[in-house]
Chain A
C-alpha cells in the first residue's frame, strides 16, 4: 500500500490539473466579469455622434431593451465582429454604438466605409465615462433590458454563437 502511495498522489495531482485545464479551456481568462450584471446600467451622459442615419436619441432608449456595442475605428477586432453586429441589428434588435476613444471624423468615416448598424452612436472621446461601465477596451458588448438593468456582458469580438446562445435568450427573457 505504501509503495502505491506516490502513484496515487501523482494520479490525484494529475486529475486535479486535468480538471483545472478542462474547466478553463475555451474560456478567455483575461476577461473580467462585469460587476454591473443585474444592476442598473450607468446613465449615458455622452454626446451623440451626428450621422445621417441616426434616428434615435439617448432619451429614446428609456424603457427599451438594447445592445450596447463598444467600438472604435482604431479597433481591428471591431471590424471582425462588424458583420455579426450588422446581422443582429437587421434582425430588429436595437444596437447602440459606444464609440470609444475615437475622433468623430474617424468614426463617421469607418461607419461610412463598413456600414452603420447602429440606431444611435454615443461618443466617449477620452474614455472617462467608460470607467463607470467597467469598459477597458474594444470590442465589448452589453445587453441592457427594458428596465435599464445590465443583463449580459461580453468582452472581445461577438460571434454568431454568442449571439444565438447568449444575447438572444437574454433579450427574450428580459421583460
Chain B
C-alpha cells in the first residue's frame, strides 16, 4: 500500500514537472505586467493544439506567440490591439471568446435556442398530461404538480 502511494506521488510529480518545464521562465518587468500577460495568454488559443491556450501549450508556435504577445505589450499596445494583431494573422480561431459575427452567432445563441426548444417541449408535455382527466377528476390545467 505504501509503495502504491509512493508510486502515485512520484507519478504526480513527473506529470506536474512536465507542464512546469514546458513554460519557459519569462523575466517580467513588474508583477502588473506578469498578471496582464498571464491573463491575456490564457484568453488566446494555441493554433497548433487547439484545446489549449497559448499559456498552457508547449508547442513551439505557442512559445513564439507568447513572446510576440509580450513584445507587443512592451510596445505599449492594448489587449484589444494585441488580439486584433493575432486575429489578422490567425483568424478568430485564436480567440477563446470569438466575437459575435458571421457564423459565430450560432455558437453564441445555439445553447439558448436548444434551451428554448427544450422548454417548449417540457411545457407541451406537462400541458397534455394535465389535460388528461385523472382518477381524482381534477383535470384542470396547472393544479396537480
Contacts and interface: CB of A to CB of B under 8 A. Distances in A.
B61 interface: yes
B47 interface: yes
Interface stretch (A81-89, A124-132, A167-175): A124-132
Most buried by A among B48, B65, B89, B128: B89
Q: How large is the interface on A (under 10, 10 to 19, 20 to 34, 35 or more residues)?
A: 10 to 19
Contact of B90 (A30, A128, A136): A136
A132 B50 contact: no
Interface residues of B, number: 15
Contacts of A101: 60
Given A32-B90, A35-B90, A35-B91, A131 B47 contact: no
B88 interface: yes
Contact of A131 (B50, B87, B89, B91): B89
Contacts of B128: 2
A134 B68 CA distance: 13
A32 B47 contact: yes
Given A136-B47, A137-B48, A35 B60 contact: no
Contacts, number: 36
A111 to B, nearest CB: 22
A128 B47 contact: no
Contact of B61 (A2, A30, A34, A136): A136
Contacts of B61: 127, 136-137
Given A30-B50, A136-B48, A128 B93 contact: no
Interface in A132-174: 132-134, 136-137
Given A30-B50, A32-B47, A137-B48, A127 B93 contact: no
A132 B85 CA distance: 9
Contacts of A30: 50
7 contacts: A32-B90, A101-B60, A127-B60, A131-B68, A134-B91, A136-B47, A137-B61
Interface of A: 2, 30, 32-35, 101, 126-128, 130-134, 136-137
